[in-house]
Amino acid sequence: MILLINPKTTKPTEFQTDFFREPNLGILYLAAILEQNNIPVEILDLEQYYGLEPEELNKIIIEKIKQYEIIGITSLTNTFYLVKQIAELIKRSNKEKIVVLGGPHVSFQYEEILKIEPVIDFICVGESETSFLKLINLIFREKNNLMSSQMFGRELDAIKGLAYRNLEGNVIFTGLPKPIDIDTIPQPPRYLLSQENFYYRVASVIINRGCPNSCSFCSRQKLFPKTRIRSLDSILSEIRDIISYQTYNYINFYDNINIDRKFFHGFCRLFIDNEIKIPWGCELRVDSITAEDARLLKEAGCKLIATGIESASIKVLKNNLKYQDPKRVLSGIKHLKAVNIPIQAYFVLGLPGETELTFQETLDFIKELPLDTDDKINYFAATPYPGSRLWDERERFNINIFEFNFTKYDCQHIIFETADLSVQKLENLFKIAKDIEQFFKRN
């Protein structure tokens, strides 16, 4: 009765590679909640039809939606245009079908979207596990004539985390939902992912929600205001579930696994004490990594560390609320490389406060890093995602956002200019940055 759609989110270079990842875990969690409540649900993962032309893809969507009354679609900022096209297709096929959106982009843009997009019926804002289930149950009751339209409206208003248009056409937001106890969410039902075209080989596991940091370019803190870390038992249960499928050969853990040092050490011990052999990688803050931490990660079987360095300029980092000492970053990377753990280092060009001098400072810093052929560098263009401080406080950061085509919000396009760097200068510097990135890929 419920169909959850994952639009295409993977870059063309990632198709059919060892790093091809599962779809957004948000829809898997929603599917788990629905199944727990005996509500039939199916997932349409459009990643699995990557070789098809748009017309062929539309035929698949049209055929699939025939048997469903309610369709939920997850949306990132740069995939919103795809989400809108899918919603329009659904409504053209049958305007009675109900379209519900969720995800970070629509959580911050719900008012603008609902004012101009008649094909969207509801938006789940923020954490949706509770609001989506309540909405589905309410719609079922109305369709079965178990309540009046007035009662439906009253109960709709009582569901926290919903945005919609009322009968007068005004956008209503019911308020933010309470933070969820993430250990109460069932394990993602990966068996709902169709194996028709290929098997996923890389599993994604979320170990926390929220972040104690306040980086200007991140919307995570606003999406999840309260930081919560899953229990080790819950994580171990999911790892064993993933291994049982016998199709996965790698696990990525998100987000920073060393927010809490005690948890971090317990997480590593989980692999060692339970003799878990599946290769895995994770994201963490490298500035706090000690020699002991590095040895523990190695013993636990960690095969890759991804870390956001962003810049080597203290001025740029502080200006963007990223409180990280480049000297400690260098020290942490040295510890990791001493035990031969590969590094994927992320840098950002064009943050407020960036100049040609700070950019050169970062390039000089990269030369100091003890990286080898196992390591990679990714250079991203600073991107003001809705919900981030760069988007919400653009005047404070003195930036001029000139690009509002959300398809370009992929960290590969220059979206804004600063008082120090014009668009042309940023484009020139970004070309240099991408040359550095390619150098590491070639070597």
DSSP 21: B
156-205 pLDDT per residue, tens: 999 999 999 998 999 999 999 999 999 999 999 999 988 776 678 899 99
Fold: same for 2-173 and 201-442: no
- A 10 A CB-CB count for 276 gives 16
- For residue 141, CA distances in Å to 99, 146, 155, 393 come to 17, 5, 11, 42
Write the CATH number of the domain with boundaries 2-173.
3.40.50.280
Secondary structure percentages of the chain, helix, strand, coil, to 5? 45, 15, 40
- A 10 A CB-CB count for 177 gives 19
Q: What pLDDT was estimated at residue 325?
A: 96
Q: What are the DSSP E strand ranges found in 174-279?
A: 202-206, 208-209, 228-229, 250-254
Q: What pLDDT was estimated at residue 228?
A: 96
CB 381 within 8 A of CB 434: no
Q: What pLDDT was estimated at residue 1?
A: 83
135-163 pLDDT per residue, tens: 999 999 988 887 788 888 899 999 999 99
Q: What pLDDT was estimated at residue 51?
A: 74
Q: Which residues of the chain have pLDDT under 70?
A: 9-21, 197-198, 442-443
CB 289 within 8 A of CB 268: no
CATH superfamily membership of 201-442: Aldolase class I (3.20.20.70)
Q: What pLDDT was estimated at residue 143?
A: 84
Q: What pLDDT was estimated at residue 52?
A: 79
Q: Where are the domains of the chain?
A: 2-173, 201-442
Q: What is the reported pTM?
A: 0.93
* Crossing angle between the packed helical segments 80-93 and 54-65, to the nearest 10 degrees: 50
d(C-alpha 241, C-alpha 235), whole Å? 10
Sign, CA dihedral 334-340-346-349, equals: positive
343-387 pLDDT per residue, tens: 999 999 999 999 999 999 999 999 999 999 999 999 999 999 999
User: What torsion, rounded to 10 degrees, do the Cα atoms 233, 237, 238, 241 define?
Assistant: 170
